[in-house]
Amino acid sequence: MEQNQIGMLTANILKQQKLIEAIYGHIAKRKKGYTKDRVVLESLAYQLHNLYCAFEDLFRIVANYFDNHIDDPAGWHKELLGRMTLEIKGVRPRFISETAYEFLNDLRSFRHVVRHAYGIELEAEKIKLVLKKTLALKKIYQKDIVYFLAQLKPTTKK
């Protein structure tokens, strides 16, 4: 990867990270009182949904730079997330750690419920578990991005 490509990738990652941080800000505002107010609970669930979508967009940015094609159209969400844990020798370092993967996979599953379970009442206790993991994820993913960007090296032309 050439220096200008690394610069563009870094800029796109950092831009998406700002969006993720903004969603974390919305989550912080809504986590107060969600167990007592149905509207706040649904708003928090929506922000958790948005957070996973923002992470998924971040993963697509990385995948697109390294030409990672997803072969399974039915399971691409899970496959894309899984690929982010892989270090591809000579191509790219891993993007997220196994710990981040575990938290993100739970968030992915929750996002699926929010997106597709129209007739289901969201439960505060389930959201509490997702919220706890999502808040723990914040520091982990930030460290993962720092690690990833530090590993990128421009290719030398001969």
- Residue 158 in domain: no
What is the pLDDT at residue 153? 81
- Residue 129 in domain: yes
Per residue in 109-121, pLDDT (tens digit) is: 999 889 887 778 8
CB 84 within 8 A of CB 95: yes
Per residue in 24-63, pLDDT (tens digit) is: 999 999 999 899 999 999 999 999 999 999 999 999 999 9
Per residue in 68-94, pLDDT (tens digit) is: 777 666 678 899 999 999 999 988 999
Closest CA to 91 of 113, 118, 120, 62: 62
Q: How far is CA 77 from the centre of its chain?
A: 11
- Residue 156 in domain: no
The pTM of this model reads 0.91
Closest CA to 145 of 26, 25, 20: 20
Sign of the Cα torsion 59, 61, 66, 72 reads positive
Q: Which tokens belong to 19?
A: 């969006």
- Residue 36 in domain: yes
Q: How many domains does the chain have?
A: 1
- Residue 157 in domain: no
CATH number for 42? 1.20.120
Distance from C-alpha of 111 to C-alpha of 97, rounded to nearest angstrom: 20
pLDDT greater than 60 at residue 157 = no
Give the domain range for residue 147: 3-151
